[in-house]
A and B are shown apart, each in its own frame.
Chain A
Amino acid sequence: MNRSDFPAGVRAQLPILLGVAPFGLIYGVLAVGAGLPPSIAQAMSSIVFAGSSQFIGTNLFADNAPFVVIVLTTFVVNLRHALYSASLAPHLERLPLRWKMLFAYLLTDEAYATGILNYQKPDRSGDPWKRHSFYFGTALALWLTWQLSTGIGILFGAQVPASWALDFALPLTFIALVIPALADRPAVISAVVGATVAVAAYDWPYKLGLMAAALTGIIAGLIAEQYRTRPQ
């Protein structure tokens, strides 16, 4: 662990935390408002640990939705994590199983974004732990912030004014991460197609629009790659 990039991973996550913490506060307030006991509301943050599905789950509990509906909805909303899991998998292949299990538990949109772009950078050190410790730092920082912010929301009902627009820190960070990754034409095409479909399908329920956008973007990238490698 001597050449650790853990602090660099934490630092990379800091701007995103600016947007995540207010979101966690809102979850805490809504969960208690929906009638969930505080202990259960907080347990959801550590057991499920997925913002969007916690919001939707809270609403479903308030509506007295049946068990099967809540669990299936959670599954569908979180299906995009399978893409993140596949995308990270080759980089984690040589890790011991217990680390794979921990890294999977910590896998969120935010940890994926900073983590994968670090894994994809050219590695000059030859020390795989540098990247793993970066991911561990970036993912753990998000986990801790989510636990604390939802807890504060649950206990104190604290909220940040919406006019501060801190939620915009997340797309801004993603802009800063994705633009250097647009290194060739297929990558640009995957981004343009993914973004366009996402705008059109933004109203689809259960984050299915994002899933459809990601899949069409990936397919578009693959097709563009075929055209590039074909002779003539």
Chain B
Amino acid sequence: MTPFQIWITIMAMGLVTYLVRLSFIVAWGRLAMPDVVRRALRYVPTAVLSAIILPEMLRPGGGPINISFSNARLIAGLIAGVVAWRTRNILLTIAIGMVVLWGLQLIGV
């Protein structure tokens, strides 16, 4: 592609991305949303965030599922989960999770 064609392509990429992001925000209140859609929205954060978290713990680097003590990210993530559950402290959760991961890497896990 020529630089001009690349510019046009990037504009189009930006436009489709923006329209997806804008879609419901602008349509809400103008279109009647079925009740089931409203109720479904309650589960978007838990479903999406968990779906981002677990593969990062169980399949580090996109590899096969690794449930063992050789998986440092799984151990660090589980400990962070317990910290989050007991303390509800976001910074403490992240700090302990990172320190555990670095510690395990250091001892060669």
Contact at A90–B88, with CB atoms within 8 Å? no
Partner of A169, one of B14, B62, B98: B98
In the complex the two chains form, what is the Cα distance from A105 to B15 in whole Å? 10
Q: Interface size of B by Cβ–Cβ distance < 8 Å?
A: 69
Please measure, in the bound complex, the distance between the C-alpha atom of A85 and the C-alpha atom of B17, giving whole angstroms: 12
Contact status B52-A85, CB under 8 Å? no
Q: How large is the interface on A (under 10, 10 to 19, 20 to 34, 35 or more residues)?
A: 35 or more
Knowing A90-B41, A168-B97 touch, does A214 contact B51 (C-beta < 8 A)? yes
Q: Please give the distance in Å from B98's CB to the nearest CB on chain A.
A: 7
Q: Across the interface, do A93 and B81 meet the contact criterion of CB distance under 8 Å?
A: no
> Which of the candidate stretches A45-53, A126-134, A146-154 sits at the interface with the other chain?
A45-53
Interface residues of A in 152-210 (CB under 8 A from B): 163, 165, 168-182, 186-188, 190-199, 202-203, 210
- Contact across chains for A186 and B43 when beta carbons are under 8 A apart: yes
**Known A-B contacts A105-B18, A210-B52; A175 and B84 likewise in contact (beta carbons under 8 Å):** yes
Our count of residue pairs bridging A and B at CB distance below 8 angstroms stands at 261
A119 CB to closest chain B CB (Å) equals 10
Chain A residue with the shortest CB-CB distance to B22: A104
Are A179 and B85 in touch, CB under 8 angstroms? yes
What's the Cα separation between A100 and B55 when bound, in Å? 32
Can you pick out 25 interface pairs between chain A and chain B where the beta carbons lie within 8 Å of each other? A15-B90, A15-B94, A49-B17, A81-B21, A82-B24, A84-B21, A84-B48, A87-B44, A89-B27, A104-B18, A169-B94, A169-B98, A177-B90, A180-B88, A186-B43, A187-B42, A187-B43, A190-B47, A191-B50, A194-B47, A195-B54, A198-B54, A210-B52, A217-B43, A221-B42
